A and B are shown apart, each in its own frame.
Chain A
Amino acid sequence: EAQVTQNPRYLITVTGKKLTVTCSQNMNHEYMSWYRQDPGLGLRQIYYSMNVEVTDKGDVPEGYKVSRKEKRNFPLILESPSPNQTSLYFCASSLSRSRTGRDLPQHFGDGTRLSIL
């Protein structure tokens, strides 16, 4: 079954304690992306990756890191989490980002709810 898998689904932690949210897709997709969802703001992109070893900032990258060492995995790293990073996070993937802008629809994971105390 085609899917995007995020772990953990829920996490409560404290300020400053490094954490990693993993994301894995089994569709051989080139493009992967992380979003955060906050009430009234919709989803905002944190980072994206066009392919292995190619990553770039989205709209709200501050406080986050990513890496793309393998095509299937795109972990999100919070080196020193703070309470304003409490949010619902989604990983997404798609086959590619087309050059004409006719983006293929993205497949989303089920989300990771992070609470930073």
Chain B
Amino acid sequence: AQSVTQLDSHVSVSEGTPVLLRCNYSSSYSPSLFWYVQHPNKGLQLLLKYTSAATLVKGINGFEAEFKKSETSFHLTKPSAHMSDAAEYFCVVSEAWRALTFGSGTRLQVQP
């Protein structure tokens, strides 16, 4: 069975400082992994995806994530936070033919 755990429900950073949003997953197979972002009153937008190619995945808006099989982790990072990054972020795992399984979300606050 697949599952995903987002280790922090809230993260607060100052503008211009690095962002780290942590995600651990459990999967019986080689999964696909995604990060989505949700801005207030909006649907989810894909940031990046891992599908067994390069383990370091680059996404939109300067975000990237590294797939570490030995640690079953897929943490999301950004070198320098911007005010517009304030949103909720979801880590998502998917195995063959199964539904997407969403983490519970991490709310990112960016302080001026």
Contact = CB atoms under 8 A, between A and B. Distances in A.
A33 B44 contact: no
A103 B98 CA distance: 9
Given A40-B9, A101-B29, A90 B43 contact: yes
Contacts of A92: 43-44
Interface string A79-117: 000000000001010000101111101101111000000
Contact of A42 (B41, B42, B96, B103): B103
Interface residues of B, number: 28
Interface in B53-106: 90, 94-100, 102-105
A44 interface: yes
Given A42-B102, A43-B90, A97-B97, A102 B51 contact: yes
Interface string B7-44: 00100000000000000000001111010100001111
A59 interface: yes
A12 interface: no
Contacts of A44: 102
A111 B45 CA distance: 12
Contact of A58 (B42, B90, B99): B99
Contact of B41 (A58, A102, A111): A111
Contact of B43 (A48, A100, A109): A109
A41 B99 contact: no
Contacts of A32: none
Contacts of A103: 32, 94, 100
B11 to A, nearest CB: 16
Interface of B: 9, 29-32, 34, 36, 41-46, 49, 51-52, 90, 94-100, 102-105
